[in-house]
Amino acid sequence: MERKDFIRKGLMGTGMFVASASVGNVIKNDIDELKELDVIGFNHLPNTESKVKANTVLHKADTRGHANHGWLDSHHSFSFANYYNPDRMHFGVLRVLNDDRVDGGKGFGRHPHDNMEIISIPLEGDLEHKDSMDNVAVIKHGDIQAMSAGTGIFHSEYNKNEDQDAKFLQIWLFPKTKNVTPRYDQLTLNVEDRHNNLQQVLSPNPDDAGVWINQDAWFHMGKFDKDFSIEYKLKNPANGVYAFVLKGDITIEDHELNQRDGLGIWDTNSISIKANTQDAEVLLMEVPMSV
């Protein structure tokens, strides 16, 4: 798919969702927004409930924040909207990891973002995207979408199908550089390339595999046969890796993880991964641990 650049200046937001019927009538809501946040440091350090090693933090699936708005059922790995946990503000520059289910025909109305890298990974169904430069696109399983919000954009996202749910991951990263020219990127990937392999789906390089963003981050996705093992080597040893299990059971560095568990590791050059069930799936997010 052709990559598209677009510009939108003078918008409000600081990376938060705002519901709006028009630019002149902006209303905050408690569904999809970031609260005011003083970033003193990047709290990737383990808390008492999740400490398993000095360089590791574990977030079990059933400890995530949860908000059910009827049409939107969302689980938050990090503090978001009305879910606040001081031990779960972010992992390095990874600020938001939401696991969302959207009812048929429903979705997020037109709203602005700025100075945030926003990644959407559909897991089931189809989402229709519209933005402030009149771009219209549908993202589905196998696609990945990235927006560098920069100086500001408006967009909306709806479940395109009336008769089925849409499920997707909504991921936000703090940008490497603020106030850049906004940019939209979307690609359809060959999901077969992640069979017993770690398929790169995002990077900071426009000529590299996957979409690209304004941050020194690399995302990979893998789908493995039972008992298959693989090693992931970090692109930058100063980075950390946050692993999110999409399906099945996986062991990472001797930590047994189940579906929708998250594990963050830093101060390492590589991590080992082993699938304990057939067709186990994982998303790896390598991110800087500081700005």
Give per-residue pLDDT as tens, 212-224.
Answer: 999 999 999 999 9
**Going along 132-276, which residue ranges are E strands?**
136-140, 143-148, 153-159, 166-173, 183-188, 198-203, 211-212, 218-224, 229-233, 239-247, 250-252, 255-257, 262-265, 270-275
Asked if 244 and 170 count as a contact pair (C-beta separation under 8 A), the reply is no
Asked if 44 and 54 count as a contact pair (C-beta separation under 8 A), the reply is no
Q: Which residues of 34-43 are buried (b: 16+ CB within 10 A; e: fewer)?
A: beeeeeeebb
Quote the CA–CA distance of 23 and 37 in Å, as a whole number. Answer: 24
Average pLDDT, the chain: 82
Arithmetic mean of pLDDT, 225-233: 98
pLDDT at 172 over 90: yes
pLDDT at 25 over 80: no
pLDDT higher for 9 or 274? 274
Q: Which of 221, 244, 61, 54 is nearest to 143 (CA)?
A: 221
Give per-residue pLDDT as tens, 107-147.
Answer: 777 777 788 999 999 999 998 877 776 777 888 999 999 98
| DSSP code of residue 273 | E
pTM value is 0.84
Give per-residue pLDDT as tens, 78-103.
Answer: 999 889 999 899 999 999 999 999 99
Angstrom CA distances, 286 to 200, 209, 213, 218, stand at 11, 15, 13, 5
End-to-end Cα, the chain, rounded Å = 31
